[in-house]
Structure 1
Amino acid sequence: MATPQAQAVRRWILTGAVAAITVTGTIYGAGLKSDREVKAERKRYQQASPEEIISQLQIARDNLVIKKKEMERKIAGFHEKQRQAKELELQQQQQRQEQEQEEQEKRVKRLKQLQRPR
């Protein structure tokens, strides 16, 4: 009779082997299914009439045009946000410069008042 430790090791090995077989089978089956789907799609494409092919291509083109317009809209929105941010930054910079200039004028005015003879 095997010791409890040996039984535990055997159980772990058996569990790992079953898991490996299951994973391998799943991957192999998925590969077979995708191969079958590719072959069916290729066969369907070869049997399609030129009108059907043109129709499918037109649908694909329409979808791409929609995606292109959406992407252009997003890009335009991004550029607009950048432009607004630059304008805001310029306004803030001008305000800071005006404040600094006012402060400088106040300092000069104070200095002149202090330098006046009494």
Structure 2
Amino acid sequence: MSTQQTVRRWILTGSITAIAATGAIYGAGLRSRQQYEEKRKKAVEATPEDMIAQLEVVRSELVGKKLEMERKLAQITARRLQKEEAAKDTK
């Protein structure tokens, strides 16, 4: 009798876990679809001034990233040149 209760308990535990996981996944999917629809609706309803403002914000972020990448590239190039000069001096 005890073995049967243990098996039943495991089955119930597994079933409840599966139901909870399925509900969480389904809820997350609904939420992400809802967010997508809200973003799409905002984009469609946006005035030209709003679109321009958004594009300017994105542009400024991209320019900032570009400057950061150029700075890092310059640092890497300078280190490479220093290593090459150090290698020439040791020869």
Q: What band does the TM-score fall into relative to the shorter chain?
A: over 0.9
Q: Kindly provide the amino acid, as one letter, of the partner of residue 72 in structure 1.
A: E
Specify the alignment match of 1:12 in structure 2: 10
**In 1, Cα distance between the equivalents of 2:26 and 2:79?**
50
**Which string of whole-angstrom CA distances, capped at 9 and with x for unpartnered residues, describes residues 79-117 of structure 1?**
111111111111122xxxxxxxxxxxxxxxxxxxxxxxx
**In 1, Cα distance between the equivalents of 2:36 and 2:81?**
48
* Max Rg structure: 1
Kindly indicate whether residue 79 of structure 2 is the aligned counterpart of residue 78 of structure 1: no
**In 2, Cα distance between the equivalents of 1:86 and 1:11?**
70
Kindly indicate whether residue 59 of structure 2 is the aligned counterpart of residue 56 of structure 1: no
Q: Which of 65, 68, 76 in structure 1 is aligned with 2:66?
A: 68
Specify the alignment match of 1:26 in structure 2: 24
Any unmatched runs of 5+ in structure 1?
Answer: 94-118
Matched residue count: 91
Structure 1 residue 20: Cα displacement: 1.1
- State TM-score, norm by structure 1: 0.73
Name the structure, 1 or 2, with higher relative contact order (CA <8 Å, separation 6+).
2
Q: Percent identity?
A: 45
Specify the alignment match of 1:38 in structure 2: 36
- State TM-score, norm by structure 2: 0.93
Any unmatched runs of 5+ in structure 2?
Answer: none
Could you list the structure 1 runs, at least 4 aligned residues long, displaced by more than 4 angstroms after superposition: none
**In 1, Cα distance between the equivalents of 2:54 and 2:64?**
16
